[in-house]
Amino acid sequence: MREFSHMPTTAESRSPTGGAAAIKAPATPAAGTGIAPEDIKRYVQLYAANPLFGHHDEWVITDNPFRRPVDHQAVTQHNFSQPLKREEVFSSSALAAQRMLFNVYETDLVFLPDKDFAAKRADFESFYSNENKLLGELIRPTLEAHVFGFLDEEIDISGKWSAAAVKSYLQHLVDNHERSELDIVSAVLSSPDPEKAALALLIQVAGDFLTESSASARNLLGKFGPVQSELFKIAIDDYGYGVHKAKHSTLFESTMATCGLATDAHAYWHFYLTGSLALNNYYHYVCRDHSKFFRAIGAIAVGESLFAHTCRKFSEMLRAVFGDRVDTYYFDEHFHIDAHHGRMAAENVVAPAIAKYGDSVIPEIVRGIEELQSITSLADTDFMAQLAWADDLQGHKAAAARARQGGLSEETESTKTTVVLREGEPVITRACDADSLWLVESGTLELVAGHGSSIQIQAGEGLVVRRGRLQGASSVSPRCLYHVYQLKD
């Protein structure tokens, strides 16, 4: 149900009449937990201190869905009490918050390792322990306000909306989307290494596709009439009508396996970009809190409506990159079924919900439509920026040499951090809050920019890491000492 290609969310596009505001969308309630900020800060640190969320020995986490590194150091550095601004959504604070939120949400889902449960039983029990769940629940509203609060400022729904206007607006979005080539697909195809780029994209979507429909399935319980059963029909398609090999997540496993990727849930946790986590979390955010039910059906309607074309473009791209060896059936199946799901969601869920619950629910539905597109756009931007940087690590090595030749001074650097790494130390990926210059003084550093994407930096060499980019570092010599200079704008 993930959607990629973004439609502009201009004020005009949100107002079907261009007229004066007829219905004002209610703002998201503040975190409103009644808990003092200093207590929240303490709970956040306690939450992140769970050994399950500590650094891991390997970049790929094999068959243990409970190991989900958060980066405790980042958590202690940041204060999550204020909403981030849009320009901060790829910051280190955003990454830490999105990772924690994803963990909080996913304690509602069942994960089991494929093999050797006995060896992982302690992790299983810790992940689903009351302590982990209660701490997660205490910090969740604060983290949600931190990472999604900017949407309240950004999206203003005005105009004389009606059920017909919502329907034609959704159709307008579908029409525009179907004329699009999808920027992320074009970015993969024009990469100097399209295979690596395509794998990077599959990894970004795996966080959602391997548990497909889990967030929206939260709307199936309860009692609310025929709309409930229509939502159920969409879910049972995603769940393959109980035939495991037809379950959409199983189809996606086959796509990953035929590309040589692991199919364990969150094996590539370290490489999930902040934007991808935001998109996964957004579905949970609106589907878990049932006061956001109408926002959720707006998001589901637009997600389902646009996904068909997205899947067509993904399938074409995978075939072009991997030839016959890739199984594209996951995408081919969605190309057919999500055109149908989009119609079902618009005609059998959104329209009857408005008819039954009244026009006052329309702004929330439109808010869901707009917010999903906004978060999708961020996920796309993040992926393309990461790809551009990771594809040009040599160029960024040369940039570091030039910066070094030019001489570092107080005018070019703001802070300097010195780090010592030892070979075999546990690893973590982080996001950079500013463009930074990494200079290796001794030993050899391996800087990782994604799965299978890294560069070695010898003593005397350096690398420029761009703001917002995800990177991890390890030493490939017994000891490596390096300096990180945060560069001024």
Residues that bind Fe ion (CB under 5 A): 238, 248, 304, 338, 341
Q: Please name which of 65, 474, 13, 24 lies closest in space to residue 265, comparing C-alpha atoms.
A: 65
Q: How far is the CB of 440 from Fe ion (least distance, A)?
A: 46
Q: How far is the CB of 103 from Fe ion (least distance, A)?
A: 24
**By C-beta, is 248 or 451 nearer to Fe ion?**
248
Euclidean distance between CA atoms 391 and 432, whole angstroms: 17
**By C-beta, is 216 or 471 nearer to Fe ion?**
216
Contact 160, 68 (CB under 8 A): no
**By C-beta, is 28 or 305 nearer to Fe ion?**
305
Element (H, E) at 334: helix 329-343
**By C-beta, is 23 or 236 nearer to Fe ion?**
236
On the 0-12 / 13-18 / 19+ scale of CB atoms within 10 A, 34 is exposed
Q: How far is the CB of 239 from Fe ion (least distance, A)?
A: 9
Contact 262, 271 (CB under 8 A): no
**By C-beta, is 345 or 390 nearer to Fe ion?**
345
Euclidean distance between CA atoms 251 and 228, whole angstroms: 26
Q: How far is the CB of 251 from Fe ion (least distance, A)?
A: 8
Euclidean distance between CA atoms 6 and 183, whole angstroms: 9
Q: How far is the CB of 304 from Fe ion (least distance, A)?
A: 5
**By C-beta, is 120 or 248 nearer to Fe ion?**
248
Q: Please name which of 195, 451, 193 lies closest in space to residue 318, comparing C-alpha atoms.
A: 195
CB atoms within 10 A of CB 100: 28
CB atoms within 10 A of CB 330: 24
The DSSP 8-state label assigned to residue 67 in this structure reads -
Contact 3, 301 (CB under 8 A): no
Q: Please name which of 239, 243, 263 lies closest in space to residue 253, comparing C-alpha atoms.
A: 263
Both tokens assigned to 450: 């994604």
**By C-beta, is 14 or 248 nearer to Fe ion?**
248
**By C-beta, is 242 or 323 nearer to Fe ion?**
242
Q: How far is the CB of 443 from Fe ion (least distance, A)?
A: 47
Q: How far is the CB of 303 from Fe ion (least distance, A)?
A: 8
Q: How far is the CB of 228 from Fe ion (least distance, A)?
A: 17
**By C-beta, is 152 or 238 nearer to Fe ion?**
238
Q: How far is the CB of 198 from Fe ion (least distance, A)?
A: 20
If DSSP codes are grouped into helix, strand and coil, which group holds residue 401? helix
Helix/strand/coil (H/E/C) assignment for every residue in 230-265: HHHHHHHHHCHHHCHHHCHHHHHHHHHHHCCCCCCC
Q: For the sheet with 462-465, list strands across it.
A: 413-422, 479-487, 436-442, 462-465
**By C-beta, is 81 or 250 nearer to Fe ion?**
250
Both tokens assigned to 61: 């986490």
Q: How far is the CB of 413 from Fe ion (least distance, A)?
A: 48
